[in-house]
Chains A and B, each alone.
Chain A
Amino acid sequence: ETTLNLTFLANQNDEDYDGAMVFKNYVETNTNGSVKVDVFAGAQLCGSAVECFESLKAGVVDIYNGTAGGAAVIYPPIQALDIPYLFSSDRVVMDVLRGPLEQQIRERVLEATNNEIMLLAIGQTGGWRGIGTTKKQVKTPADMAGLKIRTIESPIQQTLVRNMGASPTPLPFSEVYTGLTTGVIDGSLNSISDIVSANLNEQIKYLTLERNAYMTNMWYIGNTKFQSLTEEEKTVVLDGAHLFADVTFGVQPSKELAAYQAFRDSGGTIYIPTKEETAEFKKQADPVREWYLGQYGEEGKEFLAIIEDDIKQASDKIAAANQAAIANQ
């Protein structure tokens, strides 16, 4: 009998937990109990991306998730997924993340970690990131001038914010609420779920959904543990992980409804940029791309090309399907 210790940093209210429970049930049932899954929500076993991936390698943790920003600690070029305005719609992004890109990332991560960490499946955690501000509504990049915006410790976010004329301010997430209250920061790049779950909506009054990034959520397994499973068990774990990822795709948007309601109830205004304004925002991605390509050279170029190619194919496929459906009266 094998036990898989599954952990994530979010708490039990997060879609990660719903997905994890589905995974646990699927794996335990379909292996007739030969593989047991223990779920540890919150920072019980490890507290940061660096520490959790280290624990994964050490075998303390068996399954852990990472956003593109988090997984950058084991495979830096993965930040291509965080290049702003790369994805345009939920349907496209879901199609890409479920497609051949998965195997691409799996191989690259295995190589970067000396075969220690393997990608299981890709889901999402939090949907789209927008720009939340306390006092000033942002409709175009020009409105960002002079604002102090909280970012994670990621050069991608910093470059984007700086390029818009705002001042990027890295703060630990636990200090964001007080930072917004006192004015150390005027806003933050976050998804609606993160804003509401940390009560930031008491301070953030404007949310601009320019969709600078989609919060992908990659589930990884320690490869030594994975290889210790039988062929059948491996199949069940992989199938379970994909079910898990699909649960997060479905549950998160439905949880978001309550978050939107809470945001509006606390006096928040949501703004969707017009076509012209969206084009303005998209221009802001260029220096970030340059930074990325300069930083990760050939490998980065190749990886980004794969993603963009996948996006194009998915977009074309979906557009064609839509056309056919619309034409079919």
Chain B
Amino acid sequence: MFRKLIIGLDWFNTIATKAAGWLATVLLMVMTTVVTIHVICRYGFGYSFVWTEEVARYLMVWMTFLFFPLGHKRGMNVAVDFLVVAFRNTKAGIALRLVLEIMVVVLAVFCVKISLGMIGRGMSTMTQALQVPVGLIYLVLPLSFGLTFLCAVEKVLELSARLAGQRVVAIDEETISTEDHGTDDEDGATLPAVAVGRSE
């Protein structure tokens, strides 16, 4: 039952975070195009649009929040992880990670709650250039933190199972084969694509 729940959650989270990620990718493409076309129009034809900067900014915001849950799922968020690494694969280490994940769950719940309030208030505030309600732009917030919440819950369940001596490793192709780089198996923290993200 427990096992099925974890595998089911992983299945859903994998699909949902990836779908959000592809949408975010498309937004980055649009963002690049918008800014490039604006430069060409302005320098080449002396024509500027009112809305390019605003649109590009909100595209970037959406891109960020849409891809954030996948970042959490893959453990890409940088941390000072001496302790976690030092006690890796021991009961104490797993318990520590469990505590950390539970705090993320709590945070995510708060974030969803606050963002719903923001959406409500934001419906009567218009953006500067396009004059659309900013509440619509805030819609990405509960989506992002809701998904982050589910990913964190999945990790909480998985870590609890491990603490109880059961090992349920959900199948996820990106998280294999980093064992010998000295990070925990499912964190995948030293994959090149991941490493890029950690500092700049």
Instruction: Answer whether A and B touch in the complex at a CB cut-off of 8 Å.
Output: yes
Interface residues of A (CB under 8 A from B): 49-50, 53-54, 57-58, 69, 72-74, 76, 112-114, 116, 146, 148, 152-155, 158, 167-170, 172
Asked whether A153 lies within 8 Å of B124 as measured between CB atoms, the reply is no
Q: Hey, which chain A residues are within 8 Å of B128, CB to CB?
A: 49-50, 69, 72-73, 152-154
Contacts A76-B126, A153-B54 given; indicate if A170 touches B121 (C-beta within 8 A).
Answer: no
Closest 10 A/B residue pairs (Cβ): A153-B129, A57-B121, A167-B46, A153-B128, A169-B48, A73-B126, A113-B124, A158-B50, A73-B125, A168-B48
Chain B nearest CB: distance from A145 CB in Å? 11
Contact between B53 and A170, CB atoms less than 8 A apart: yes
Among candidates B42, B48, B50, B118, residue contacting A155 with C-beta atoms closer than 8 Å: B50
Chain B nearest Cβ from A179, distance in angstroms: 11
Do A74 and B125 have beta carbons less than 8 Å apart?
A: yes
Q: A169 and B42 in contact (CB under 8 A), knowing A49-B128, A54-B122, A54-B134?
A: yes
| B106-149 interface bits toward A, Cβ cutoff 8 Å, 1 = contact, 0 = none | 00000000000110011011111101001000000000000000
Interchain CB contact under 8 A, B121 and A116 = yes
Task: Report the Cα distance A246→B46, complex, angstroms.
Answer: 42
Q: How far is the CB of A153 from chain B (nearest CB, A)?
A: 4
A172 to B129, CA, bound (A): 13
Chain A residues with Cβ below 8 Å from B53 are 153, 170, 172
Please give 11 more A-B residue pairs, beta carbons under 8 A apart, in addition to A153-B51, A158-B48.
Answer: A49-B128, A50-B127, A73-B125, A76-B126, A114-B124, A153-B50, A153-B128, A167-B46, A167-B48, A170-B52, A172-B53
- Residue B47 at the A interface, CB < 8 A? yes
Which residue from chain A places its CB closest to the CB of B120 in the assembled complex?
A: A57
Show 8 residue pairs from A and B whose CB-CB distance is below 8 angstroms, ordered by the A residue.
A49-B128, A54-B122, A73-B134, A74-B124, A148-B46, A154-B50, A154-B129, A158-B50
Bound CA span A92–B97, Å: 67
- B124 A170 Cβ-Cβ under 8 A: no
